Structure 1
Amino acid sequence: MGVQFNHPWLLLLLIPLAAFMLYAYKSDFRLSGARKTGAVTFRSVILLLLVLALSGLQSYTVLEQKKVVYVVDRSASMPEAGQAEDWMQKSAGAKKEKDAVGVVSSSLQASYEQKLLNRLPDPFRLNAAGNPDFTNLESGLMLAGNLLDGRSDSRIVLISDGKENVGSMLAAGRMLKDRGIPVDVLPSPSRQIKDVSVEEVIVPHKLYQAESFSIEVLVRSTYKGRGELRLYEDSREIGRETVDIAAGENRFAVKALAKKTGLHRYRAEIFMNGDSQSANNAGYAFTRVDGPPKVLIVEGKKGTSGNIAAALSSGLVQYEIMPSPALLPSELAKYAAYDSIVFNNVSGDQVGERRMEMIEQAVKSYGIGFMMVGGEESFGMGGYFKTPIERALPVSMELEGKRQIPSLGLILVIDRSGSMSGDKMEMAKEAAIRTVEMLRSKDTVGVLAFDTNNWWVVPPMRLDNKKQEVIDEIQSIQSDGGTDIYPAAASAVEEMLKIQAQRKHIILMTDGQSAGNGGYGPLLDQMNDAKITMSTVAVGGDADVNLLQTLAEGAKGRFYMAQDETTIPAIFSREAAMISKSYIVDKPFVPAMQEPGDWRKLFEGGVPQIYGYVATTPKPSAQTVLASPEPDPLLARWQYGSGRTVAWTSDMMGKWSKDWVAWPAFSNVLTQMVKWTFPQFSASPYDVKTQVEGNKVRFEVSAVAGTGPEQLQAMVTGDQLQPVKTDLVQESPGTYSGEMTVDQPGSFLLTLEDGGGKSVAMPTGLIVPYSPEYRIETGDADQELKRLAEMTGGRVLSWDRPEELFAAAPRPSRQLHDLGHALLAAALILWVADIAVRRLALPWGRLGALLAAALRRRPQPAGGAEAPDAGLGRLAARKQRAAAFYGGGSAAPPPEPAQPQARAGKPEAGAERPASEARPAAQSHAGARGRKAARPPAAGPGKPAAAEPKPPQDERSAAMDRLLAARKRNPR
């Protein structure tokens, strides 16, 4: 324990202050006596405390303790964590009891495994979760530094292979060096494996249709051999070659032809015997092929798009027909290969929620056009209610209040067994909620959940104004138990017989096999007699498909096979729409122009008759070009984000539009509809370059015209469909730059927006390659670790000698305690006391005497005997009373009342005086009687009282002195 000063030279202020206080004491201080002494003392101490506080007085204790924080690299390039865990356990076992250890895990982000404690758990395991696709040692070192305060012998132990790809550990080392924290390194051995990787794929940034070009591929390998190089355009293989690969870098060039227009992704893959790591075997690149626009036609039923294809061919518009919605791309970047997408009578359950979201994002953010052509499986009949496709269309599927629709009784029978947990259950609840939202107030709905038992989530009830109440009950369904279908189906039929509705329908959904084997024949007969229909939905391949198909056919319903659970909401919506049958308006009419705009010339000569369509409702901001007498929109369009969409609610196969497809102007009208949806920019006015470094993507954008808007943003969307916007900084007129962070590899679409959120360039592609953890390193990472240790004064530790970490004696260090606040608080208290002494007019002398008396007072001895000081005090009091009795002057206190006299030689009754005190008192009274001093006569009327004779002063004093001496000789 000791003290020290941060600014000891300030102690010199005590010399002039001491001289000043001495001068103040000797001068006229306007105070005197004890008040003057007290005031000068208080002020002297206050000034002393202030000088000590200014000089930085601190106390300290000497510490001999080690604090060590392990930083463990948890990236994918590191071997299994067991070796590091064992080494830490052994090294911590050699520490002293006072030493403390902590553990930090580091991958893309660092996290605490254990804060500073006096031991590691046995056994110790690394449990913190992180992203192993990146190595950020800087983050781990800085987090470890936050655990160390620098007051002890502190150090960090870094266990890593040194292959960092995010941040800089040397930058963190410089900051730790300034804080006096050394970093010991324990180099982890690199995994020695046979590995071949595709490091880079290079294609021209821009191509023209039918242009020949080369695809350059950089391959790196750790061993020599023969492999096969495959090349793909989008998902189509365009080349395959056998190549000889040497250890190190290998470059190959493959010729290709730009056949199709649009944005294309090229993929190169390498295959080689002996390769032990496949994560780095593929590389990607994007390019745009300029040429005529291209349209993707998606068919609900194969071979039904002949009229559309013929019309586009006559308008010189390129197209591609996709015979099944199941073939739609599952990656957002692939939709950028088309200028517009046409759905021809496609039902929503064939598309799925995720693909719908991709199409909506492609339209809204990247300007790709979309058109929906009607039919019996499109719009509301296709189950698009409240889907992403409905959000993009200019019409909605809601028909509330438009026409007389038959009352509907609907019961949803939902499997809630344990196998339905997770996304299946969530999609089932979403499907039920959407179905309830489609129903009207006069409809009746019930929801039955089943496992091995039945549970009426919502007993059959008329909706009225209870939609939200029903939705809240549906949200409460939880998955658990087994599967038994028959009791649930029988219970639903039993309740349906009690419902009064014009149309009655049951939707049964399950993903499992039924435990029971009930007699379904009588149940189906009962349903047919009561005109109750039932559709069934099999979720996944484990469902009892045969049973569900039989039930749907026997109950005159439909069977759906939902391999993708995201299609369940569309299936339920479609079923609810098909039961009402009110969506289809099957009667001839001649469409009327309503808001044709720039399409007026297309219809000025008149339009053919239409024989049917699917009813929809136009959205408030949509433009209804042609309408029916209802009025319902037949042709509507609008701007949705950066793209445009068109809705044609009749068909184009000839069933409802036979006069239209035979109309001479049909090809031109349809071509103009599709062309209107094309992106609004034919060529990109900006040159966009991207560079990926670790988990950072840097953008460099330059305007072709040399100037651009003040504000520009880059919007990047990946397969997760979560757009990320990055503000671009204008470095000079028409030149912009920016940076964004990515946490996973993949293909991304990139477009530019102005300050108003409008797209100003054609979408382009962005590739974030596989994790840099899987790259084949060419440098010496161990040298970087050694540089870190040398910079900070650390050591290079050995895997064979873990005890070396705590072998050296701890470096003594001081733990400082700042006394500044305590000194200032004491000075403040003394300052208040100084004011009180100088300003308050109090009897300071009397208060001091009382304080001194209180300090001198002692506690009474055991047994009730009085202390000697108390006895002397009573003798002094008696002396005063005796002096008053014998005429001791006016200043003496008045005599006490006369007490009854006891017999001679005996103490007074009830007296509590000791015997030694009683004897002198008796002798004094006897002496007084021997002198026979008679009292003066009492004063009569008109006569003054005679004055009492006063005994001589020396006689009284001698008597009292004798009494006090006797008391001192016989203390008790």
Structure 2
Amino acid sequence: MGIEITRPYVPILVPVILLFMYLILKKLKGVVRKDKLILISRIIILILIVTGISDITLNLKGENVSTVFLLDVSDSMSGFKNEGIKFIDNALKEIPKNNKAGVVVFGDNASIDKFMDASKEYKQIKSAPVVNSTNIEEAINSSLGLFDKGAAKRIVLISDGEENQGDVLKNIPVINKENIDLKVYKVENAVGDEAYVEDVKVPDNISIGEEFSVITKIQSNVQTKAKLTLFSGRDKKGQQEVQLQKGTNTFVFKDVQTTGGFKSYRVLIEPENDSNKSNNEYSCFTNVISKPNILVLEGTAGSSAGVVETLKSANSEFSVISALGAPTTLNEMLEYKTIVLADVHVDDLNKGFMDNIESYVKDYGGGVVTFGGENSYALGGYKDTALEKILPVNMDKKGKNEVPQISISLVIDKSGSMSGGEGSVSKLTLAKEAAMNSLDNLRATDEINVIAFDDKYQKVVERQKVQDKEAIKGMIAGIGGGGGTSIYPALEEAYKAQSESSAKIKHIILLTDGQDSFGISNYTELIGNMNTGGITLSTVSVGEDADNALLGKLAEMGKGRTYHSDKYTDIPRIFAKEVLLSSGTYIINEEFTPKIVSNHEILNGVLVDNSLPTLLGYVGTSTKDKAIEILSSNHDEPILACNQYGLGKTVSWTSDINGQWSRNFLTWNKGAQLIKNAIYWTIPDLSDEGKISITQSGDEAVVEFYSDSVKNGSKIKGVYSSEKGESGELELTQEEPGKFVGRVKLSDLGFYTFNIREENNDEVLNNYNGAFSFQYSDEYKFNKNKDKIDTLVSEVKGSFINKPKEVFIGDLKSSYKPINLTVPVLIIAILLFLFDITYRRLNLDFKKYFHKFKIRFNINKGKLNRDVYKQNGENASDNRRVSSTVNDKDYKSDLDSSKISSSQSKEEVITKESIEKRKDKKNKKVDKTEKKSERLDTSSLLKNKKQREN
């Protein structure tokens, strides 16, 4: 038996307490018995409290043994998982008495799957550790907390030993110190033909135009042919047909970058003989140092003329491409400090660009500048898109310039010829799509009705307010193809619907690809009625068979616009634009001089004499509440406005930049300065006071940020995004002065961009961009650490096993069962304290209760004896006489004792005279009792007993 004392200095109080009590007892010699009992109980209570505070543990020798199974469930052991479960289950069936067992499953991390208990089965794995790495060191460390204190310890490791995280040899000292019995079931995995990309190296930083090498290392255990391809982003940079040899193979690509920013590289290998595809890609990145690079997107050729001339004269780094070729990923966008859109329609921008433009500005500090034209802002489909969200202007006009209620009639040709089209999409399908899209430009207070026609018309949507757009779209989607073409009846029905509307703006849009048997003269009266009722008419002709002359004349007479397109995919754009133009307020074609609303830094060097040239037109918008309006029109609508959106900045110029409306500005000597200021204001000024380091640990990216200038109270946060679209946020915590660390789990392999920012009181003080390549795990490489298991077993004097029944074989060092005395002794102290209070307050005499208990016990014993004697047949009477005699004597003795005890229960301290008198009285009573008892028989004794009880 062993004794452990957590606080060895506390028991010193015990002799001090005893000495103190001894001195008190010695001084108080005349203390009565009751006070002595109280004093002794209090001494015991104090000693018990001291024992509890000391935290004493008794280690009693026993046979308790704790066993922990460590089951490797990493990817390299995936084929053995079920066998591993079965091995543990069979082993538990052999577990000896007083043994307990637990299970830890592990891969890159460890997870307790079964806590220590005596159960004899293990049927399934309940935990889910990360399986793309193997960390045996972590698994052993996790198992140590499962062992019962004082128990003999055993670890059973089930693994292939292919550790690629941590170092299992670091566990040797703790295994030896804890006397742990280590048993290893080493699993042998068959390795097939395998080749993989081990590493790709590029310089950390390069300059634009500088040629550099991309060095690729390939590992293979077989001689085979392979195709090796190098990518940078979406672009293929090179390809080689190679012959792989066993061992390490090195190949070199050459490349040149012409734009700045982080550039990702990815190497893909496709071997003829290969068993695992998970390790056939490897990525890396480099930082191309350059001047701030600007991307200019044109809606149509030449629409960015003013921007291009300005950037050329400023010697800026820029690229001009069609909006159709806009970047599709966030990483491609981040190659540019700001993006300029010149009269660009949303339909010309790809989905990837629209999905990422907000994050580009908000999270990574990119800039966006938009210039107007007839294909921009509301006319360009910006409403309710990411572009409207980030820009400083709303697409809807508000305030005093708000557009009044609109009522639209859509008259759509559904004749048989409309079933044709380009490819698999018919003209009728596009017409229905156009009608549904036009709803997005209408408000809930606006009205719409839809009429479809062939040789007769059909009311598809009765005139109603646009409150349930989905229901209206569903009705439009149900339009089916028909026969011939008869325009007039349908147009007349549209006129009737509009004439009943109370809207201030009433407009009809007619779409057809055919001809009508009615001549223009037949429409004169109808169009005249429209003019009288304030109803306008626009027409859209599609294809070569449409009667363009008739439709053009109808639009002219109807005071609307006419459109013709052989490109059927333009139909939705035409409809959406026409709905907005029907209000007559989105394109303002008039000359005016812009007014200066705010003396913003964009106007630096521009306002020499506070005079500005005139503009000839613009697209109507409204300024957002938190945006800054710099220049406005004569209708108090924004011409130039700017905005801070997240980390980035945006600017909107609502006139054009190709000279149609802005020619006076472009020929003005300060015009170029204004354009340059607007663009350069959006270029982020990144601080170089911080440094970002990103490394990989298992399936996590470990982000470290270093800065000595972080303001007190600031939080360091970040965002990240992969090439495949995975994104998220993280917060870094300070681990030491100037060092902040955050971890984030990643799932997509490849290139990631990070932005780390310092926030203080919801304000971003600084932000920093970084990059990272997330690689496949070392689990999928050839392992060079298999021999470590052999070394471990040798150093800790462990053993290898192959069968479940071998798990519990072998003698372990004696185990001890720890019993902590703290709780028991404190409970006893509390009970004793309660006894002390009860004894003192109730003035209890325990001797009196003891004697009463003794009397009752003997009487009951007598009764029991008589019952037994009655059953003894012919000797019953003799036995009763004997029993009666014995009981009489016992009763007499007990009665005397009871009387004595009763007299003693009176006052403890009395005079000598009273003591003598009492003795005399007692003697007389005893004599009388003895004489009387001679005459008593058993029946009288029982009678007296009953009287006493009553």
Asked if TM exceeds 0.5, the reply is: yes
Residue 616 (str. 1) matches residue 615 (str. 2): no
Aligned with residue 607 of structure 1, among 603, 610, 613? 613
Q: CA deviation at 1:363?
A: 2.7
Tell me which residue corresponds to 1:273: 272
Match of 1:252 in 2: 251
Deviation, 1:613, is 0.1
Are the equivalent residues in 1 in contact too, given 2:267–2:281 (CA < 8 A)? Answer: yes
* 2:408–2:508 Cα contact (<8 Å) kept: no
Q: CA deviation at 1:84?
A: 2.5
SS of match in other structure, 1:497: strand
Q: Report the Cα distance in structure 2 between the residues aligned to 1:647 and 1:869, rounded to whole angstroms.
A: 124
CA RMSD of aligned residues (A): 5.8
1:813 maps to a residue whose letter is S
Q: How does 1:235-250 map to 2 (within 5 A)?
A: 235-250=234-249
Asked if 1:202 corresponds to 2:201, the answer is yes
Structure 1 Cα separation of the partners of residues 63 and 17 of structure 2 = 37
Q: How many positions carry a matched residue from both structures?
A: 784
Aligned position for 1:338 = 336
Residue 662 of structure 1 deviates from its aligned partner by: 7.2
User: Given that residues 282 and 750 in structure 2 are in contact (C-alpha distance below 8 angstroms), is that contact kept between their aligned partners in structure 1?
Assistant: no
Partner of 1:765: 771
Q: Which residue of 2 aligns with 1:635?
A: 640
Q: Provide the C-alpha distance between the structure 2 equivalents of 1:308 and 1:653, rounded to a whole number of angstroms.
A: 8
Residue 296 of structure 1 pairs with residue 309 of structure 2: no
Aligned pairs (5 A) from 1:357-372: 358-372=356-370
Per-residue CA distance 1:389-411 (angstroms, 9 max, x = gap): 44432234464544443447999
Contact 1:610–1:660 (Cα < 8 Å) also in 2: no
Measured after TM superposition, the shift of residue 59 of structure 1 is: 8.0
CA distance in 2, matches of 1:407, 1:607: 35
2:788 is equivalent to residue 784 of structure 1 = yes
Task: Classify 1:827/1:612 alpha carbon distance in 2 versus 1 (closer, same or farther; 3 Å).
Answer: closer
Consecutive unaligned residues in structure 1, runs of 5 or more: 412-433, 447-485, 487-491, 536-548, 558-569, 881-951
* Residue 312 (structure 1) shift: 3.9
Which residue of 2 is the match for residue 805 of structure 1?
A: 807
Is the 1:201–1:216 contact (alpha carbons within 8 Å) kept by the matching residues of 2?
Answer: yes
Secondary structure at the residue paired with 2:786? Answer: helix
The answer to whether the Cα contact below 8 Å between 1:367 and 1:759 also exists between their aligned partners in 2 is no
Aligned to 2:236, what secondary structure does the other structure show?
strand
Partner of 1:145: 144
1:508 pairs with 2:470: no
Whether 1:111 aligns to 2:104 is: no
Give the 5 Å matches for 1:452-531. 497=462, 499=464, 508=473, 530=497
Per-residue Cα deviation, 1:768-816 (whole angstroms, up to 9, x for no partner): 3233322333x2x222233444555543333xx2331134467763433
Q: Distance in 2 between matches of 1:966 and 1:127?
A: 78
Whether the aligned pair in 1 keeps the contact of 2:199 and 2:217 (CA below 8 Å) is yes
Structure-2 change in CA distance of 1:746 and 1:808 (3 Å): same
* SS of residue paired to 1:82: helix
Q: What is the rounded CA distance, in whole Å, between the counterparts of 1:138 and 1:386 in structure 2? A: 54
- Please list the CA deviations of residues 835-855 of structure 1 after superposition, one character each: whole Å capped at 9, or x if unmatched: 665787667776665565566
Matched with 1:960 is 932
* Cα contact 1:104–1:112 (8 A) shared by 2: yes
Cα distance in 2 between the residues matched to 1:294 and 1:969: 123
Distance 2:147 2:403 in 1: 74
Distance in 2 (CA, whole Å) between partners of 1:970 and 1:759 is 103
Q: Deviations over 1:163-215 (max 9, x none)?
A: 44444444566556555544433333345133333333333333333223333
How many angstroms apart in 2 are the aligned matches of 1:688 and 1:17? 64
SS of 1:508's partner is: helix
- Does 1:749 pair with 2:721? no
Counterpart residue type for residue 751 of structure 2: S
- Are residues 963 and 68 of structure 1, via their aligned partners in 2, closer, same or farther at CA, if it must alter by over 3 Å? same
Change (3 A) 1:61 1:689: closer
User: 1:741 and 1:969 mapped to 2: Cα distance?
Assistant: 94
**Cα contact 1:100–1:118 (8 A) shared by 2:** yes
Determine if the alignment matches structure 1 residue 775 to structure 2 residue 781. yes
1:673 corresponds to 2:678: yes
2:157 aligned partner, one-letter code:
L
CA deviations over 1:113-146 (Å, ceiling 9, x no partner): 4444555768x34354343333344443344333
- Cα distance in 1, alignment partners of residues 739 and 584 from structure 2: 55
Once the two structures are superposed, the pairs formed by residues 38-117 of structure 1 within 5 Å of their partners are 38-39=37-38, 42=41, 56=56, 58=58, 60=60, 62-64=62-64, 67-75=67-75, 78-96=78-96, 99-116=99-116
Instruction: Write the mapping of 1:114-263 to structure 2, written as runs, cut at 5 A.
Output: 114-116=114-116, 118-119=118-119, 124-126=123-125, 128-171=127-170, 174-175=173-174, 178-263=177-262
Which SS does the other structure have where 1:826 is aligned?
helix
Q: Does 1:405 align with 2:403?
A: yes
Cα shift at 1:300: 4.9
For 2:369, the aligned partner's letter is: M
How do 1:416-427 residues align onto structure 2 when only pairs under 5 Å count? none
Counterpart in 2 of 1:928? none
* Partner AA of 1:825 in structure 2: I
Q: TM-score with structure 1 length normalisation? A: 0.65
* Secondary structure at 1:162 match in 2: coil
The one-letter amino acid paired with 1:964 is: L
5+ residue gaps in structure 2?
410-436, 453-457, 499-506, 511-541, 547-561, 564-571, 871-879, 897-923, 946-950
Q: State the alpha-carbon separation in 1 of the partners of residues 118 and 274 from structure 2.
A: 46
2:617 is paired with a residue whose SS is: coil
* TM, length-normalised to structure 2: 0.66
Q: Deviations over 1:420-450 (max 9, x none)?
A: xxxxxxxxxxxxxx9999987856999xxxx
1:195/1:653 Cα in 2 relative to 1: closer, same or farther (>3 Å)?
A: farther
| Whole-angstrom CA distance in 2 between matches of 1:142 and 1:533 | 78
The 3 A distance-change label for structure 1 pair 669 and 64 is closer
Task: Answer whether contact 2:354 2:386 (CA < 8 A) is retained.
Answer: yes
Matches within 5 A, 1:758-907: 763-777=769-783, 779=784, 781-790=785-794, 794-798=798-802, 801-808=803-810, 813-834=815-836, 853=855, 858=860
CA contact 1:380–1:574 (8 Å) conserved in 2: no
Q: CA deviation at 1:369?
A: 1.9
Cα distance change, pair 823–19 in 1 and its aligned pair in 2 (3 A): same
SS of equivalent residue, structure 1 residue 200? strand
Q: 1:814 to 1:130 in 2, by over 3 A?
A: closer
Deviations 1:560-614 (A, max 9, x none): xxxxxxxxxx99x989995995872434242322224344444655323232304
Counterpart for residue 521 of structure 2: none
Q: Secondary structure at the match of 1:631?
A: coil
Q: Aligned equivalents of 2:230 and 2:314: distance in 1?
A: 34
For 2:753, the aligned partner's letter is L
- C-alpha distance after superposition, 1:696-719 (max 9, x if no partner): 66778899xxx9677896846222
Contact 1:374 1:614 in 2 (8 A): no
Partner of 1:595: 598
**Higher alpha-carbon deviation: 588-597 or 349-358:** 349-358
Q: CA deviation at 1:341?
A: 0.9
Aligned to 1:422: none
Matches within 5 A, 1:559-570: none
Match of 1:395 in 2: 393
- The one-letter code sitting in structure 2 at the alignment partner of 1:30 is G
Superposed counterparts of 1:1-40, under 5 Å: 5-6=3-4, 29-32=29-32, 35=34, 38-39=37-38
C-alpha distance 293-497 of structure 1, shift in aligned 2 (>3 A): same
Q: Is the 8 A contact 2:580 2:586 kept in 1?
A: no
**Is the aligned partner of 1:379 residue 2:377?**
yes
